Amino acid sequence: MKSSNIACQGNARVGLFFFTIVAALFLSSASAQDLTAKEVLEQRCMVCHGCYDAPCQLKMEAHAGIVRGSSKELVYDGTRLRAANLTRLFDDAQSEQGWREKGFNPVLDASTPRQGVMYRMLQLKQAHPLPTQGPLPEGFDFSLYRDQQCPKPDEFDKFANNNPYWGMPYGLPGLNADEHSTLTNWLEDGAPAPELQPLPTNQQALLAKWETFLNGKGKREQLMSRYLYEHLFLGNLYLDVTQKQIWFRLVRSSTAPGEPIEVIATRRPYDDPGQEKFFYRIQRMPISPLAKTHIPYRFDQARMGWYEELFLKPDYEVSELPGYAIENGSNPFKNFLALPVQSRYRFLLEEAQFTIMNFIKGPVCRGQIALSVIDDHFWVMFANPDKMDVEHDAEFLASELDNLRLPSPKRESVIDMLSWRGYSRANAAYQQARAEYGKEQLDREDRKMDINSIWDGEGRNDNAALTIFRHFDTASVVRGFVGEPPKTAWVVGYTLLERIHYLLVADFDVYGAASHQLQSRLFMDFLRMEGESNFLMFMPPELRVPMWEHWYRGARSGTRNYISNIGDLAKQPTDVSYVTSDPKLEFLQAMRERIHGARAESFDYSSSATAAITQAFDKLIQAPGAHNSFMPEVSFLNVIGNQRDEAYTLLRSSGYSNISQIFQEEKRRIPEEDKLTVVSGFIGAYPNYFFQVNEQEIPAFTKEVLALESRKDLASLRERYGVRRNAPWFWRLSDKFHLKYQQQDGTEFGWFDYNRYQAN
């Protein structure tokens, strides 16, 4: 019976005991269904083998990844002095032989399927299942930088003898009999690719229309298409909302529309395609979306009409198309100077979550260096495009083109500090010019720094307010202001949004040298501080420096003095009137009420939870302190009861004295400032732990979280309410969470990744 005790393992309360038996039976019956091989691969394999850091680079998001096989080469290596060879699925080789030439080893065996590595890994788990009680056997290593085993076919016997419990799924329960039979039968049949259903007629017509639109002959059309490509290349495009989504991507091809696509694979989207004539094509992607990399973007007829309004209807001239010289490649302000500034900003702004999501999601599956540059929880607002003086702002940008350049990787070798100083000086010159220009503009009667300077979404667009959560080396971005008002906030305008995209998306290379990633991290410091200082301009002048100094306690003098170094602009009076003694809180709460969608009601647990559950969760979020430091960054909580079966996410935000330094993060930790955010539904692609609690036990669960003082206390909490990696019901709960996530948002749904799920 212990294996069925889901909600209160180790708890002897008789009523809950019988309840959990019923719940377990329900879960069993709910998961007893006939799954296809593709569904088993998604639900049991892809959840560990999906992102760029999938063990052994065995990516199972698509059949092509299984055929490609495995490699012992690491994608993420913070010590390499030169850029690594590219191994992007669908890009850097187009055939099985091509991947063999790149050093990938097969996991399938076409002639003798039972001798294939994948088949034998599944059999190994069946022969040596994990114990269902207590901790895992010795020897498991779940650290992100663990040694890669990746046995070749002729190495498998030795691997199995040395590691009998390391069958697949690694460190998780094995497949049940039906799942195992489905997958092994599929392997014995030659592991055929799932059949792609033909595109509906209306989508075929729209696809052809898009490719005609994107390959216009005129210079304006060509410049527009290049701008779109450099901003959409990571997007999972969809042509319409259907029950079963079909995904596409925008690529450059050497072949024209109507011919088979031949992808031009360059390291970065702004790199020279290597041929004068090429075409923008829409490539169908036979993938299952992974939450970490899934960036959906609507690409329907209405979107095409909007692009025409933005880029083709305005009256402007493109006299010459930009080239692909490396020194200008990462400077969109030069390359797209001819495109109207207002059109560029509207393009980025109307889908601001997508724009920001590109650096939050995407291929950066491990982004500790890149993401240590942002706070664990902050809100993002945007400058009102209708308050821009387009003509004057465009003239100012044109005058600052050289100072707006971003670090461009020329050598991909050890960091060139002389080059870095040049970027730093250019940024300082731009910030000074921006401050002078801003003061000049605010001295005018018609330009104010008031609440109308913040975009409110115009009563229709919920991209106007965003929340970003950092989870150590990954992050999430959602629409609306989620959680309690944070320590910091950003106000972002066109130039900042564009530079964030080119620095952290178009220019960022996960295969790059350590120097490239370090330069990106250093430069992002400037961009973060710009967004924060924009926000401070809405605060009373006398509070700006004290607030900044609190955000940057113990930071270097250059960082601490940033807000005062922008001169008279920092002293400019605000046009916002305050009535309380806490202007920051007053302003953020006012923006939450004013901006369309900022209340983020879909994440509000109080709208569906009982009064008792709401009261318990309220206690968690209103109690910052060191007890929160013991909680995982991302926990999924299933609350079950007689009439209740709900999912919540508990997010830990860690406190720091400052985030302006790259290393020694632990020395800047302030656990007393750690906070929890509780939301209805799911936020986060990498759950660190599952909890399953009976609704009657939520007050007790909350009380234990608030009382955490040690790792031993956390172990007790997990013993009573947690779901170990080897819990017999792990997969049933995983299936339930995925189903609920699909119901939460079918378009944004992607499979969770369990590579950060904690042991025991």
Three state DSSP letters for 27-66: HHHHHCCCCCHHHHHHHHHCCCCCCCCCHHHCCCCCHHHH
**Residue 364 maps to a domain:** yes
**So what's the pLDDT on residue 22?**
40
Return the closest-CA partner of residue 84 out of 515, 519, 510: 510
Q: Give pLDDT tens digits for 193-240.
A: 999 989 999 999 999 999 999 999 999 999 999 999 999 999 999 998
Q: Give pLDDT tens digits for 725-756.
A: 999 999 999 999 999 999 998 899 999 999 99
- Return the SS3 of 386: helix
**Residue 29 maps to a domain:** no
Q: What is the pTM of this model?
A: 0.92
Residues whose CB is less than 8 angstroms from the CB of residue 290 and which lie 6 or more positions away in sequence, other chains included: 46, 50, 51, 61, 685, 750, 751, 753
**Residue 243 maps to a domain:** yes
Largest Cα–Cα separation, the chain: 80
Angle at 218 between CA 213 and CA 219, to 5 degrees: 110
**Residue 246 maps to a domain:** yes
The answer on 271 and 166 residing in a single domain is no
Which residue range(s) make up the domain with 519? 358-599
Contact between 22 and 30 under an 8 Å Cβ cutoff? The reply is: no
How do 247-253 and 279-285 pair as beta strands?
antiparallel
The answer on 566 and 418 residing in a single domain is yes
The answer on 500 and 421 residing in a single domain is yes
**So what's the pLDDT on residue 12?**
33
**So what's the pLDDT on residue 389?**
67
Tokens of 42: 């998604």
Per the DSSP assignment, residues forming a β-bridge with 689 are 635
Domains held by the chain: number: 4
The answer on 535 and 460 residing in a single domain is yes
Cis status of the peptide bond prior to 169, with omega within 30 of 0: yes
Continuous segment of H or E residues that includes residue 475: strand 474-479
**So what's the pLDDT on residue 120?**
98
* Positions of the chain with pLDDT lower than 50, given as ranges: 1-32, 415, 417
The answer on 459 and 546 residing in a single domain is yes
The answer on 627 and 513 residing in a single domain is no
Return the closest-CA partner of residue 224 out of 296, 301, 314, 295: 314
The answer on 614 and 730 residing in a single domain is yes
Contact between 213 and 246 under an 8 Å Cβ cutoff? The reply is: no
Residue with tokens 């919920």: 462
**So what's the pLDDT on residue 144?**
80
Return the closest-CA partner of residue 36 out of 166, 163, 230, 189: 189
Q: How far apart are CA 295 and CA 302, in angstroms?
A: 19
The answer on 488 and 532 residing in a single domain is yes
**Residue 347 maps to a domain:** no
The answer on 213 and 184 residing in a single domain is no
The answer on 617 and 702 residing in a single domain is yes
Give me the sign of the Cα torsion angle 575, 576, 579, 583: negative
Q: Which of 136, 164, 188 is the last residue of a domain?
A: 188
Angle at 488 between CA 487 and CA 489, to 5 degrees: 140
**So what's the pLDDT on residue 551?**
95
**Residue 73 maps to a domain:** yes
**So what's the pLDDT on residue 30?**
40
Residue with tokens 């059999």: 123
**So what's the pLDDT on residue 257?**
97
The answer on 641 and 581 residing in a single domain is no
**Residue 581 maps to a domain:** yes
Q: Which of 599, 615, 644 is the last residue of a domain?
A: 599
The crossing angle, in degrees rounded to 10, of helices 341-350 and 390-399 is 100
**Residue 335 maps to a domain:** no
Q: How far apart are CA 649 and CA 605, in angstroms?
A: 10
Q: Which of 547, 571, 599 is the last residue of a domain?
A: 599
The answer on 489 and 396 residing in a single domain is yes
